[in-house]
Amino acid sequence: MPAYMISYDLRKVRNYDSLIKTLRNMKCISPLKSLWFGNLKGPASEVAKILLEEIDGDDGLVIVEMKEGADWAVVRENEDAATFLQKFVAP
């Protein structure tokens, strides 16, 4: 399964609970506030369909597949993003 980076911007009404619960159920980690990494069954459009159920119509959502060999660095992340990236993105 591909690794994805997911970011969101909840605009007017900010109810994060349902979205965060869904991301946690998908075994995603959150290295920074509003940023998540997950090893998920794609494509990105399918991941978006699932997450769109948990956000309002004015909220933003970005999902990017992270390919093996991509360059990356982490500094003071909330969860162990380095371990995730080494496992799913590092060559």
The reported pTM is 0.89
Digit-coded pLDDT (tens) for 20-51: 999 999 999 999 989 999 999 989 999 999 99
Digit-coded pLDDT (tens) for 46-79: 999 999 999 988 999 999 999 988 899 999 998 8
pLDDT at site 80? 87
Long-range contacts of 53-58, Cβ-Cβ distance < 8 Å, separation of 24 or more: 53/22, 54/18, 54/19, 54/22, 55/8, 55/10, 55/19, 56/10, 56/11, 56/12, 56/13, 58/11, 58/12
Q: For the chain, what are the domain ranges?
A: 3-88
pLDDT at site 42? 86
Q: Give the CA distances from residue 86 to residues 6, 70, 71, in Å, rounded to whole numbers and listed in that order.
A: 17, 10, 11
pLDDT at site 63? 97
pLDDT at site 48? 97
Fold (topology level) of 3-88: Alpha-Beta Plaits (3.30.70)
